[in-house]
Amino acid sequence: MNLKGFLFTGCSFTWGFGLSYYYQYIKNKPLNQIGSLKVEAEQKFQFKNRFSQKVSDYFGRWCLQKDSVSGSDAVSNHWLSYLTNLDTSKYNDELEQREIEAIEFFEPNDFDVIIYQTSYLNRNVEVFWEKLHKNKSDGGNKFKSVEEALEYAEKKESNINTSIDEFWIRVWEVVYNDMREILKELENHNVKIFFIHADDRIPEIMDIYIKERTINISHKGEEFSSINQLTNKHEDGRIFFDVGFFGNNPPQDYHPTLDVHKSISESIIKRLEDESVERNY
């Protein structure tokens, strides 16, 4: 029997944000957001039905992931640095002590699979500003301050028709270089690396390393390279538009629906089976 666990990291999509609304609706409870450490039944429902738990349950494995919402890849990298014993001082986000303690006592060889859900590129601008701005040849050089860069990123985010430019390519390069150092250390301990993506820009600029390890999401007979691409095509994949479940008054939440989490989990399961990852019974 393989006693190793599955490791998951990502933003609020991996955390399962919004799934608690389904339980609240069924039970005729107020549709309220829940905090990360509460123990209400709706949170237990959320954790049970997010894709990470569905995948782990299918394979009969235990799993580890952050117990709160991560907003960026930088936060994911920071958290994973405590597992891989790499430099944690270079990040300017603040992990809570409980999150550090949840991972620092593990070792890479406690796991044999990691599913890294990459988040939206704009969320990395502030954390990696120094690296973006240092190199005179990169896209960050056009901005005099992090505030100016963030304003630019916000404007780009508000227009979904804008194309990728040198700034986004540079943001990804900085994030990716940081990420690869961590993933290389995990691979040295025979951990298999897989990705799913939230941001539909990343599949356009990723290299062969990421591409070969990316799990596309099968949903309603179609295949998508990112969650954003899926929900742009199928708007009812966002909770706010899931009128089939919530009727005419869905909660104003744009995270993936219960059905999308199911599609993500099934897509991951298929890939892991194709890769002959051992299932415990």
d(C-alpha 89, C-alpha 130), whole Å = 14
Contact between residue 73 and residue 119 where contact means Cβ atoms under 8 Å apart: yes
Q: Compute φ and ψ for 276, nearest 5 degrees.
A: 60, 35
Each residue's pLDDT tens digit, 87-119: 998 887 778 888 999 999 999 999 999 999 999
pLDDT for the residue 131: 74
Query: At residue 68, what is the residue type?
Result: S
> pTM for the whole thing?
0.91
Question: Could you tell me the pLDDT band of residue 64, with boundaries at 50, 70 and 90?
Answer: very high
Mapping DSSP to helix (H, G, I), strand (E, B) and coil, where does residue 76 land? helix
Angle 95-96-101 (CA atoms, 0-180°, nearest 5)?
100
Residue 264 confidence (pLDDT) above 90: yes
pLDDT mean over 267-272 = 98
pLDDT mean over 169-193 = 94
187: closest CA among 119, 100, 118, 111? Answer: 111
pLDDT for the residue 162: 52
pLDDT for the residue 182: 96
Taken in order of first residue, the domains within the chain and their CATH numbers are 5-274 (3.40.50)
Each residue's pLDDT tens digit, 2-17: 889 999 999 999 999 9
pLDDT for the residue 140: 46
Each residue's pLDDT tens digit, 152-170: 777 766 555 556 778 888 8
Contact between residue 273 and residue 52 where contact means Cβ atoms under 8 Å apart: no
d(C-alpha 178, C-alpha 35), whole Å = 30
Question: Could you tell me the pLDDT band of residue 144, with boundaries at 50, 70 and 90?
Answer: confident
